[in-house]
Amino acid sequence: MCGIYGAIVSNQDAGSVVYHGLKRLEYRGYDSWGVVVTRAGDFFIEKQVGKIDKNHQLSAPPAQVAIGHTRWATHGRVTQVNAHPHLAQNGSFALVQNGVVENYQQLQEKLVSQGYDFISQTDTEVIVALIEQLETRKHETEPSVATVRQVFSQLRGRNTIALVTQSGKIIAIRQGSPLVVGKNKQGDIFISSDVLSLAPDANEYFILDHGQGVIVTCKKIQPFVVKTGKKISLEYQPIKISSTALDTAGFDHFMLKEIYEQTEVLNNVTEQPQKQLTALVTEIKKANRVYTLGAGSASFAAEQLAFWLREQGVLTTALKSYEARSYQNLFSSNDLCIAISQSGETADTNEVVEWLLQFGVKLASIVNMPGSTLTALSDLPFMLQVGPEVGVASTKALSGQMIWSKLLSELIAGKTLLAYQKQVQEYSKQLQNWFESQVIGQLQSLAKELANHKHLFVLGRGQLYMPALEFALKMKEISYIHAEGFSGGELKHGVIALIEQGTPVVCLVAKDKEKNDMLSAAAEVKARGARVIGVSIENNQLFDDWIRLPKASELVAISCFIPAQLLTYYMAVEQAYDPDKPRNLAKSVTVK
Ligand code: AGP
């Protein structure tokens, strides 16, 4: 998952526009970055390892045409040589890629046997070499669209590419990772990996579909079909995202801003079209099998939705996107799948969706990012509406996914949308009070103590089992602590061997049927020296620390991982990690 940004502008510096566009795309990958500017037939390329410094001044001269890339390394180490853009050895074009050329080794071997001398370790350079080879064979001075199309047809996998030629033409093709084209009232033209990043530059946009490309020259945009070269026209949509969504609004990090936004945005989640909700509930009730699907934190939301549907008597199977292959032959046209994804571009999830659609499975989805692939593929698409989530950690998005999932189970139980909306409004008020209480200071102190631990365990049962796994994931991905979530019932089946004097064990406890068994688990780890951190609505003498939750016990499965969001945020800051851009991660995993 990388970020691509390009610009052809008249009264501003294209290099600087692209550089700042990449800064807004950095959530997609931040190992290294690069910008290429073309002016009077010359290229000026600057590439650096590391994150984008918003105060950096590019060395390139002012120009009207530029493309750039922010990288999450797939093939080839994080080095300047491997950073994109990659310049053709004959100097006629420079290219960036978002995706993976799955057959790059065969292509690379053939090119080497023909005498091509690779400079980088990337799969992307294979594309550059193939275009340059065909361009030379056709005696072109720079690659034509036909040449780029011909080479693109040899690539396997999900590849989105953009190249700029010496004459200042941009050619881009989408197959997999998203690519949008925007323009403003001054006639400036932009390409980007998402709509959100276009907001400060463009007024309207269109999204390229898989197998579509675009040629952009000064003042002219021409979309085409890659396979045939046929020119097409695509409908522009207004950009409705305010660019203010792209700043931290006074918070130190996007992650903290987005954690606090949960007190307001969760109410937006319940603002769903009643007709569409009714249609989905009908499909759930009549389906032969119901599947839920997601990756990472979204997979925990998918499991929670399956749990809540099973409680309403709906036999539901939760699929982790990356472990769904064994179910493939079970899919049938009488089935329903509910896919959960913040970005709507997760390759693992969208690949399973493609299988499901081949078997005629009806697809519903809940997505946060407007204009995503998953939304476009869905029979019953829903929008999460929690606003852009820039921090890599899924915080308000996951809470929103859980709120939406709970809505479905409430509707199946016969509750009304209005009743549930009132419940969420009350929860939001309680959450606001919680954020203003002493619990924040308590979490900050606890974070300082836990930051030095190497291991941390989280126990939960029933409705709190998935939240326990999510609690642990947050610790892993933001504070880099080895945290594991377990079912409270699993403790005595092996896990308890790990408990030593002072081991921190978080126990998620609800006032439900699992409560007594969970407290027994707390007693058992305490008897072996653990530090028991109780996360619950009411205190208990077994707890060495008690993190009080908002009183809304019917939504405790949603409130109980919010302490994890804050705890891991403070632990990261304590260790001078960047909570918005954790090492090795990116916000949208658009490669498998
Ligand atoms: C969660 O904090 C992670 N950022 C990650 O697990 C994420 O939930 C997962 O990659 C799925 O992303 P999606 O919701 O965009 O599909």
What ranges do the domains of the chain cover?
3-244, 247-436, 438-583
What are the tokens at 104? 């790059």
Calpha distance 45→256 (Å, rounded): 35
Calpha distance 287→412 (Å, rounded): 14
Catalytic site includes residue 362:
no
Decide if 3-244 and 247-436 have a common fold: no
Check if the beta carbon of residue 320 is closer than 8 Å to that of residue 473: no
Does the pLDDT value for residue 592 go beyond 80? no
Q: What's the pLDDT at 586? A: 78
| Sheet arrangement for strand 482-487 | 482-487, 455-460, 504-509, 531-536, 545-548
What are the tokens at 197? 């990043």
Does the pLDDT value for residue 462 go beyond 90? yes
Q: What distance in angstroms lies between residue 113's CA and the mean position of ligand 1's atoms?
A: 41
User: Smallest Cα–Cα separation from 478: which of 446, 499, 447, 457?
Assistant: 447
Which residue's CA is the nearest one to ligand 1's atom 9? 296
What three-state secondary structure class fits 304? Answer: helix
Q: What's the pLDDT at 506? A: 98
Q: What's the pLDDT at 147? A: 98
Distance of CA 483 to CAs 33, 144, 468, 579, Å? 31, 52, 10, 17
Check if the beta carbon of residue 508 is closer than 8 Å to that of residue 458: yes
Task: With cut-offs at 50, 70 and 90, classify the pLDDT of residue 26.
Answer: confident
Does the pLDDT value for residue 273 go beyond 80? yes
Check if the beta carbon of residue 72 is closer than 8 Å to that of residue 581: no
Q: Can you tell me which atom of ligand 1 is nearest the CA of 369?
A: 15
What is the arithmetic mean of pLDDT over 417-441? 95
Task: With cut-offs at 50, 70 and 90, classify the pLDDT of residue 195.
Answer: confident
Q: What distance in angstroms lies between residue 393's CA and the mean position of ligand 1's atoms?
A: 7
Counting ligand 1 atoms within 8 A of each CB, the residue from 297, 304, 305 with the most, and so the one to mutate, is 297
- Phi, psi (rounded to 5 degrees) for 44: -125, 110
What is the arithmetic mean of pLDDT over 98-121? 94
CA 78 to chain centre: 21
Q: What's the pLDDT at 244? A: 65
Q: How deeply is 209 buried, as exposed, middle or buried, from its count of CB atoms within 10 A (0-12, 13-18, 19+)?
A: middle
Check 2, 337, 507, 560 and give the catalytic one.
2
Q: What distance in angstroms lies between residue 472's CA and the mean position of ligand 1's atoms?
A: 14
The 10 Å Cβ neighbour count of residue 275 is: 8
User: Smallest Cα–Cα separation from 35: which of 72, 78, 73, 6?
Assistant: 6
Range 247-436 has CATH code 3.40.50.720: no
What are the tokens at 121? 């370790």
Query: CB under 8 Å, gap of 24 or more: what pairs does 284-289 form?
Result: 284/309, 284/314, 284/336, 284/408, 284/412, 285/314, 285/412, 287/334, 287/335, 287/336, 287/362, 288/332, 288/334, 288/335, 289/315, 289/317, 289/330, 289/332, 289/334, 289/335, 289/336
Task: With cut-offs at 50, 70 and 90, classify the pLDDT of residue 196.
Answer: confident
Q: What distance in angstroms lies between residue 348's CA and the mean position of ligand 1's atoms?
A: 11
The single-letter code of the amino acid at 260 is: Y
What are the tokens at 123? 């799969």
Q: What's the pLDDT at 86? A: 97
Calpha distance 428→550 (Å, rounded): 10
What is the arithmetic mean of pLDDT over 366-380? 92
What is the arithmetic mean of pLDDT over 525-554? 95
Calpha distance 337→363 (Å, rounded): 5
Which listed CATH number (3.50.50.60, 3.60.20.10, 3.30.360.10, 3.40.50.300) goes with 3-244?
Answer: 3.60.20.10
Q: What's the pLDDT at 72? A: 83
Does the pLDDT value for residue 379 go beyond 80? yes
The single-letter code of the amino acid at 541 is: Q
Does the pLDDT value for residue 201 go beyond 70? yes
Kindly report the average pLDDT of the chain as a whole number. 94
For CA atoms 121, 126, 129, 132, the dihedral sign is negative
Check 47, 320, 474, 587 and give the catalytic one.
587
Calpha distance 420→115 (Å, rounded): 67
Which listed CATH number (3.80.30.20, 3.90.380.10, 3.40.50.150, 3.40.50.10490) goes with 438-583?
Answer: 3.40.50.10490
Q: What's the pLDDT at 240? A: 81
**Percentage of the residues of the chain whose pLDDT score is greater than 70:** 99
Task: With cut-offs at 50, 70 and 90, classify the pLDDT of residue 370.
Answer: confident
**Percentage of the residues of the chain whose pLDDT score is greater than 90:** 86
Query: CB under 8 Å, gap of 24 or more: what pairs does 487-490 form?
Result: 487/459, 487/460, 487/461, 488/459, 488/460, 488/461, 488/514, 488/517, 488/518, 488/521, 489/461, 489/517, 489/521
User: Smallest Cα–Cα separation from 46: which of 31, 25, 28, 32?
Assistant: 32
Q: What's the pLDDT at 250? A: 82
Catalytic site includes residue 560:
no
Residue 349 in contact with ligand 1 by CB distance below 6 A: yes
Q: What's the pLDDT at 243? A: 64
Q: What distance in angstroms lies between residue 481's CA and the mean position of ligand 1's atoms?
A: 18
Which of these ranges, 151-160, 245-254, 511-520, has the smallest mean pLDDT? 245-254
Calpha distance 577→592 (Å, rounded): 26
What is the arithmetic mean of pLDDT over 514-537? 96
Does the pLDDT value for residue 228 go beyond 90? yes
CA 468 to chain centre: 21
The 10 Å Cβ neighbour count of residue 311 is: 14
Q: What's the pLDDT at 236? A: 94
Task: With cut-offs at 50, 70 and 90, classify the pLDDT of residue 518.
Answer: very high
The verdict on whether omega for the bond into residue 550 sits within 30 degrees of 0, i.e. cis, is no
- Output the CA torsion 491→496→499→505 (10° steps): 0
Calpha distance 381→172 (Å, rounded): 28
Q: Can you tell me which atom of ligand 1 is nearest the CA of 294?
A: 16
What three-state secondary structure class fits 490? Answer: helix
